Amino acid sequence: MNTLKKTIAIFTLIFVLGYGIRVYEQRDIPLKNNKTNNGVLEKFPYLKDVVHGIPQFEGDISIQHMNSGTANKVFRITNKTTGNSYALKIFNTNTLDDMAATYQFFDGIRPFLTAHGIITPATVVFPCLKDEKIIMVNEFLEGNHITDEHFPKAGAIMARLHLIDTPERALKPRRDMAFLFEQCKRWEHCSYLETLWNSLDFSYLEQLPKGLIHGDFSYSNILADSNGQLSLIDCDYMRYDYLLDDIGLAQIYYGFDDEGNFKLKEFASFIAAYQKIRPLTDLEKAHLITQTKRCLIEIAMALRFYLYDNPNGPIEGVLGDPVNAELITQNAKNHYIDPEFMVKGIKSLHSTNQSL
């Protein structure tokens, strides 16, 4: 009898373990999204170790690769038992200290964002080291990336963000442009960009208003739900800085058509909606275009360096595979990761010679 019980127990254990392994291996369950990769665990085998031990991911889960950017990879993980979905972010370039500080800051101001009508995802797991990778987990917000028709609402969200009273903090160090121009001097557009940069007068900079900015106000970081309500995600670069930088950086994503022509009409609609909530100062109005040029040149040179001229090789992620045109242009709004395209935009903006 004891032998029979032992035999049954052994087979039961084998069955349970076998079922557990089967569920674990079948976590790559595609959801209805044209970016779903049917071999997520095969493509990113380290995910098994990354998700292990995180309470929200216990049980039967599905994993969907959402996107890979210059700074991180994002996966949607759905717990099929609870029905809850989460955004797992795995960072490529940021340090743990930087991300921990950023999200401690974000967590402290999130109630003020909510009070100003700005929807953001809650942090579920703060930035930490998992299987030698820096990760974090956020609440997953449903919605689609915004389009040009959402510009006025997007401008209004940015203005409300800029109205939040934020304690003064040290500003993020600017890029070393002399270093970038030297490292990228073989690039055919480098001389033009360096000449343009040196012609710009930045003496106004220290007098600009400072406050809370998002720092990455792109199409992909603003979602519109089925009711047209917008939410703001990906707050990795949220910080205390020049408010005009947020507007200038946003034009990297919104400011140009597919041929690189500056979209003055759309830019004006964004600014008009912004000013209904937070009017720009006279100094900001006077230097809005100059500051936008500054932001665009900084980003174009940084991308060129990280894509092609970094002696340590390209960074991991989309920029780590510059020959893969499908990844670099995974949607029409991702021209901002192509330095060649950005040069077209800078030339178009520079030739506009108009102010708003």
Minimal CA–CA distance to 272: which of 156, 129, 145? 156
Last residue of a domain, one of 89, 115, 139: 139
Burial bucket for residue 302 (CB in 10 Å: 0-12, 13-18, 19+): middle
Per-residue pLDDT at 27:
37
Both 97 and 216 in one domain: the answer is no
Per-residue pLDDT at 333:
43
Per-residue pLDDT at 136:
96
For residue 224, the cross-strand partners are: 144, 230
Sequence-distant (6+) residues with CB within 8 A of 317 are 68, 69, 70, 71, 72, 73, 92, 93
Burial bucket for residue 112 (CB in 10 Å: 0-12, 13-18, 19+): middle
Both 214 and 277 in one domain: the answer is yes
Both 96 and 64 in one domain: the answer is yes
Edge-to-edge, what's the strand order for the sheet holding 222-224?
A: 144-145, 222-224, 230-232
Give the whole-angstrom CA distance, residue 37 versus residue 31.
9
Give the whole-angstrom CA distance, residue 121 versus residue 110.
9
- CATH number of the domain to which 115 belongs: 3.30.200.20
- Judge whether 303 and 343 are in contact, CB under 8 Å: no
In degrees rounded to 5, what are phi and psi of residue 73?
-115, 145
Q: Which domain holds residue 321?
A: 144-352
Per-residue pLDDT at 275:
97
DSSP 129-150: EETTEEEEEEEPPP-EE--GGG
Both 178 and 96 in one domain: the answer is no
Burial letters 57-72, b for 16+ CB under 10 A, else e: beeebbbbbbbbbbbb
Minimal CA–CA distance to 202: which of 301, 287, 87? 287
In degrees rounded to 5, what are phi and psi of residue 192?
-60, -45
Per-residue pLDDT at 177:
97
Tokens, residue 47: 């995910």
Per-residue pLDDT at 314:
62
Last residue of a domain, one of 139, 162, 189: 139
Give the whole-angstrom CA distance, residue 33 versus residue 11.
40
DSSP 297-322: HHHHHHHHIIIII-TT-PPSSGGG-T
Both 105 and 168 in one domain: the answer is no
Encode the chain (356 residues) as per-residue pLDDT tens digits.
445 444 444 444 433 333 333 333 333 333 333 333 357 888 888 898 999 899 999 889 999 988 756 678 899 999 999 999 999 999 877 789 989 999 999 999 999 999 999 999 999 999 999 988 999 999 999 998 888 888 899 999 999 999 999 888 889 888 999 999 999 999 999 999 999 999 999 999 999 999 999 998 987 889 999 888 999 999 999 999 999 999 988 887 777 887 788 888 888 889 999 999 999 999 999 999 899 899 989 989 988 898 788 887 665 544 444 434 444 444 334 555 678 888 888 888 888 655 55
Give the whole-angstrom CA distance, residue 260 versus residue 263.
9
Model-level pTM? 0.81
Both 135 and 152 in one domain: the answer is no
Sign of CA dihedral 338, 343, 348, 354: positive
Question: How many Cβ atoms are within 10 Å of 83's Cβ, its own excluded?
Answer: 7
Distance (Å) of CA 38 to CA 33, 43, 62, 65: 11, 9, 11, 9
Last residue of a domain, one of 71, 104, 139: 139
Per-residue pLDDT at 202:
93
Per DSSP, helices labelled H in the chain are 2-25, 40-43, 47-51, 96-115, 151-162, 177-183, 190-199, 243-254, 264-277, 282-304, 325-328, 339-352
Both 266 and 175 in one domain: the answer is yes
Both 66 and 115 in one domain: the answer is yes
At residue 327, the 3 state secondary structure works out as helix
Both 249 and 275 in one domain: the answer is yes
Both 266 and 228 in one domain: the answer is yes
- CATH number of the domain to which 172 belongs: 3.90.1200.10
Give the whole-angstrom CA distance, residue 184 versus residue 305.
6
- Judge whether 259 and 175 are in contact, CB under 8 Å: no
Minimal CA–CA distance to 193: which of 354, 338, 343? 343
Both 156 and 291 in one domain: the answer is yes
Domain count along the chain: 2
Both 207 and 328 in one domain: the answer is yes
